[in-house]
Structure 1
Amino acid sequence: MPRKKNYDRAAVDALIARSDGVVKRADLVLLGVPDSTLTSLTGPRGRWQRILPGVVLTHRGNPTLLERRRAALTYAGPDSRLSGHHALDVWGALGRRVDVGREILVVVPHPRHRVSSGFCVVERSERGTGRAERGGLRVTGVARALGDACRRQDLSLDDVREVMSAVLAADRCTLRQLDAVIRHGPTQRSGHARVALEELGAATRSAAEGRAFRVVSRSGLPQPVWNEPVVVAGRWIGNADAYWPDLGVVLEIDSMTWHLGAQALRRTQAKARRYAEAGVILLSIAPADLLGDPTAFLDQLRRTLETAAAAKRSGR
């Protein structure tokens, strides 16, 4: 081993601690660690390892998932963001059954030139990368991450349906947000996402929301708040398309439940139980029903609001 030279070991230790043991080789050199020492430390008999080009992991064992994610961001540069399945996982937006995969997608601004390497897949983005951070990791927003996840090459249409339904059921982004991301994003490998999006009725749902707003606003009925979270006694219950807090009534325009399978049905039932336990009446209507017969929708809504008002007057 080459003769050791003096360098600020305290500064090196602090850098390693701040970065969870994942550091740029160049940063270590700037702190005075000789290049020859780094070569020895990351060599076959060294205590450290090279995890990606120019990135050092300061132990010899298998890297953890967090270390791999930090390494990908370190390799891609300070303006990079995790996206795809790994960003969704960091946001807590995936069900446990959804596999994040070995490859880690990192997006960088389009002017930057950084090639993919090892497990790190780098994608240049003309849409920017956002400014979000979660758990100490730079990430894209949920809708953007979901759109990128759906373009992963190894995913079937059923896989895309599953990841979409998992994130949407977790209320981490809306169909409208996902629709905008996919329709204005890259067309390459987006075919499955576009099919699944049509199945979820994003365009129909948006039209139905607009119709609901117009019909309700002209109806003479008590007016709701629109697109607000439902919070009862300080507890979040769900996200409503329309909410009458004084009457305890929620309207949801829901096009997903009839084609997302048993898992989605159970999630829908769990949401309905949350509303019931909080004393909130849930009125759920399919976009096609609202668009096809707005008069019938308005009659149903009127009866629901009258029932809720009667219950309030009687003290039930």
Structure 2
Amino acid sequence: MNHNTPVPPLSPRPVRHLSEVHRRVMTTAQLRTHGISPADVNEQCRPGGPWQQILPGVILLHPGPPTSEERLHAVLMYAAKERPAGVPAQPGAEEAHAPTYTEAMLTGLAALTLHGFTSSPPLMAVDKIDVLVPRLRRLRSTGSARIVRTASLPTPQQVTGVPVAPVPRALADAVSELTDAGAVRRLLTEAVRGGHCEPAAVVRELNAAKLLSRPHVVDAVDSLLAEGRAIAEDRLYRMVREHGLPDPVWNVDLRLPGGPHLGGLDAYWPEQAVAVELDTRAPRQDDDALWSEYARKREHLERLGITVVHITPKKLRESVEQQAAVVRTALMASGDRDPAAYVVVLPR
């Protein structure tokens, strides 16, 4: 067959059931099910031919450069685990024109761009597209596909029809390849400021990836945690105001008269002896020691008759009404408790 020879009819299965991109990018295995032999594929992909192989076993069914969408699907086709012969696609996949990719998802900068990050580059500017696969898969990085391995795949999110790693994991994989401190800081800041995820989730992934030993990453994390605490404090102020809670005293230290320091609190209602503490711990190597310090402080205050309500930034973001109800209940219940010990309240 020469390049002017019509492509053999795609039988026994026509391509009507495929999405538009899957009429432009297909694996050699998929082409074989449509009656196109490996020899035919090689003929079509020769120099000057109408097709081209853009990754091992992945064929672009037109000349010229691939689009961003075609690049993403090509990388996923290369990395996804092939279904065994005779095993159908997931129910409804073909009818919904939704390709199924098993044991593969996009991560890194390309995934962040799909998640809507403006500080990550446009897809066409991403030279290497990171794809996350199980650790034991026998694959190698090649062409535009960079293989990232993991012992446990996270649950992917579907974005524009492709499986994408959750933001914290995608961030960690992107940061692992970046040496520009400014770029790392911009990505981490946008993750929190843009409401994509909480700082603790980001730090957990960075820690798991053993990236917290890199000075430029540590500096960016410190800024991230400061940014996250400022956002959480603002949400706490708005919760009190918008849900009709009485005004507390903000950001105070408690001491026993003439005695030791009891600890700092984000909000305190002296008449009801109710305190709110934002739990903005980040999971680092010293997390157990920090949690023990939190627990000791809480136990000490509660022995003195002070009710301590712990609130995480995630709860403030996702269930603020419920958190307001918890605080309101604690304030209302104060009349049924024995009076708290007298403590000195100082600005923090």
Per the normalisation by structure 1, the TM-score is 0.63
Matches within 5 A, 1:1-316: 1=1, 7-8=10-11, 11-12=14-15, 14-15=17-18, 17=20, 19=22, 21-77=24-80, 78-95=102-119, 101-153=126-178, 155-187=179-211, 191-201=215-225, 205=229, 212=265, 219-220=273-274, 227=313, 239=317, 295-296=346-347
What is the Cα deviation at residue 243 of structure 1?
6.8
Q: Please tell me whether the aligned partners of residues 107 and 129 of structure 1 are also in contact (alpha carbons under 8 angstroms).
A: no
Structure 1, unaligned runs of 5 or more: 231-238, 247-292, 298-316
Question: Deviations for 1:204-249, whole angstroms, at most 9, x for unmatched residues?
Answer: 959x98965785797448989864688xxxxxxxx48967998xxx
The structure in which a higher percent of residues are helix is: 1
- The 10-residue stretch of structure 1 (17-26 or 169-178) with the greater mean CA deviation from structure 2: 17-26
- The 10-residue stretch of structure 1 (217-226 or 29-38) with the greater mean CA deviation from structure 2: 217-226
CA distance in 1, matches of 2:345, 2:22: 57
- Whichever of the two has the greater Rg, that structure is 2
Does the C-alpha gap of structure 1 residues 63 and 83 become closer, same or farther in structure 2, counting only changes over 3 Å?
A: same
**Identity over aligned residues, as a percent?**
24
SS of 1:201 mapped into structure 2:
helix
CA distance in 1, matches of 2:345, 2:173: 36
- The 10-residue stretch of structure 1 (78-87 or 36-45) with the greater mean CA deviation from structure 2: 36-45
Amino acid at match of 1:152: E
Does the C-alpha gap of structure 1 residues 240 and 14 become closer, same or farther in structure 2, counting only changes over 3 Å?
A: closer
How many residues of Structure 1 are paired with residues of Structure 2 in the alignment?
242
Per the normalisation by structure 2, the TM-score is 0.58
Q: Please tell me whether the aligned partners of residues 151 and 190 of structure 1 are also in contact (alpha carbons under 8 angstroms).
A: no
Amino acid at match of 2:219: V
What is the Cα deviation at residue 147 of structure 1?
1.4
Question: Deviations for 1:73-115, whole angstroms, at most 9, x for unmatched residues?
Answer: 1111121111111101111133477886311111101121210
Does the C-alpha gap of structure 1 residues 199 and 146 become closer, same or farther in structure 2, counting only changes over 3 Å?
A: same
Does the C-alpha gap of structure 1 residues 214 and 221 become closer, same or farther in structure 2, counting only changes over 3 Å?
A: closer
What is the Cα deviation at residue 166 of structure 1?
2.2
RMSD (Å), alpha carbons: 4.1
Amino acid at match of 2:159: R
CA distance in 1, matches of 2:109, 2:345: 39
Amino acid at match of 1:296: P
- The 10-residue stretch of structure 1 (115-124 or 188-197) with the greater mean CA deviation from structure 2: 188-197
